[in-house]
Amino acid sequence: MKKTRRAAAFIWQRGYRGHTLWHKEECVGRISLGQTDDWDGVYRCQAGTLTGETTSLKEAKRWIREKAKLNLVQLSLF
């Protein structure tokens, strides 16, 4: 019986002021917060060249996953 390979999963790594999404050895997305005393309740997301803002961590993680999958599928132009 032949074994099938599963696609490598995305892995979340929690940091001090944010979270990072990894695919294999590549950082595909990042969520960051503002300063501790000055945080406005907005999660700032970055996936490749795309940036966005959300109001909850759950929304931010979903946004990053969607954009990361899109970036992994698209071919680079240059």
Give the model confidence (pLDDT) of 10-20 as tens digits: 899 999 889 99
Rg for the chain (alpha carbons), in Å? 15
- 53 falls in which pLDDT band (50, 70, 90)? very high
CB 31 within 8 A of CB 54: no
Could you tell me the pTM of the whole model? 0.74
Tokens at residue 28, please? 């595909």
